[in-house]
Amino acid sequence: MGEGTATITATLNGGSATATVTVTPAELVLLTLSPQEFALFVGEQQQMTATATLTDGTTQNLTTDSRLVWVSTNQTVATITSDGVISALAIGATTIRATFTPTTGTPTIVETGLTVLTPPALSLTATPTTLAVGQALSVTVTSARVADIGGLVVTMTSSGTGSVSHATTVTIPENQTSASFVVMGAAVGTVTLTATAPIRLPATLVLTVLPAPPTITSFTPLTGVIGTVVTITGTNLNGSGPGTTTVTFNNTNAVITAVTATTLLTTVPQGATTGKITVVTPGGTAISTQDFGFVTSQNFSLSAAPGQVTVVRGQPTTTQIQVTNSGQNPVTGFVSLAATGLPTGMSGSFTPSQIAGGQVATLTLNSGSLGHSGD
């Protein structure tokens, strides 16, 4: 039946009667809001619905009706648009109010409460929190609240003095709380990994990227005495800079004279014994597969040319002294020369005073008051 006025006429036995009937629009009986007394997290939105129950028993959606006005009583906590969309802004409570003003009659006001909560937090975990350049590490991102339909997309970023490579996004599957991903060490230093997602508090994780661990592929010579120069070859021997690499001979510290990523020069230290060579850097420890053989003595002989000289008082006399290697342990360093046991009044000096195997030094003899023949 439509709205308006109608005249009703009734006739009986030649007589009639009329009546006027007016049909008015259905009027509002009840206005309800949905949802009722609810909570949102900061950053979330919610569509409100206003439903009218009319006098004719029908219902009508008044959410976007121009006669209905939406209001949030605490707009610091949440706001609501004219079409009923709430935006949660800050932790706290507010009242969502809908006022329906009909063309004629008294306005109808209904309210519901809204509580805005702290968003659930993300967290990042890894064990350990250190990795080397080129090394992979598994990291887990966890949400304090299960992921909604479609999953939760977490954005990953990183910054710091070092660097790692990683995926830019990680998805936590729906109805799950965590997902794992892999980071790869790229440059030495500290790295802060940050995870962010909608309606979630962000999370950070600090990682330390170390140099790649060293390796020893060979060293030369294989044996030597104290002071022997040893060349070690391998990878990642230079650590993260000067002073970050150490080397030992069977647990005895040695001095490094030069080091690059692939070559390390050192000398056999005092107190060394036969055993492994060990190189330690911030990235790890490398131990030689072969023992370095420490030699306590070396075999050599001295020869003079000429082998016999006559020393005349007041006149320097010279002879050539040569070091000749012999036996299984040849000289790998320098032989120190000194003239001792000379007769009274005679002196001797070598030039140079140290020579290696196969080299020659000059012995100069002087007599101030006594001539002498010797060898």
The predicted-structure confidence for 328-348, as pLDDT tens digits, reads as follows 566 666 788 888 888 888 888
55 phi, psi to nearest 5 deg: -65, -20
| pLDDT tens readout for residues 127-173 | 999 999 999 999 999 999 999 999 999 999 999 999 999 999 999 99
**Long-range own/partner contacts, residues 249-257 (CB < 8 A, 24 or more apart):** 249/273, 249/275, 249/277, 249/292, 249/294, 250/274, 250/275, 250/276, 250/291, 250/292, 250/294, 251/275, 251/278, 257/229
The arithmetic mean of pLDDT across residues 16-27, rounded, is 68
Architecture of the CATH domain 28-117: Sandwich (2.60)
Tell me if 122-210 shares its fold with 215-294: yes
What are the tens digits of pLDDT across the range 99-136?
999 988 899 999 999 999 999 999 999 999 999 999 99
Q: Where are the domains of the chain?
A: 28-117, 122-210, 215-294, 300-374
- Count the Cβ atoms, other than its own, within 10 Å of residue 143: 24
Residue type, 118: T
Share of the chain above pLDDT 90, in %: 64
Q: Please name the CATH architecture into which domain 122-210 falls.
A: Sandwich (2.60)
Residues 234, 79: Cα–Cα separation, whole Å: 66
Domain 215-294, CATH among 3.10.20.30, 3.40.50.720, 2.60.40.10, 3.10.129.10: 2.60.40.10
The model's confidence at residue 2, banded by pLDDT at 50, 70 and 90, is low
**In Å, what is the CA distance from 205 to each residue of 124, 180, 184, 192, 282?**
6, 14, 14, 6, 21
**Which of 322, 332, 331 is CA-nearest to residue 300?**
331
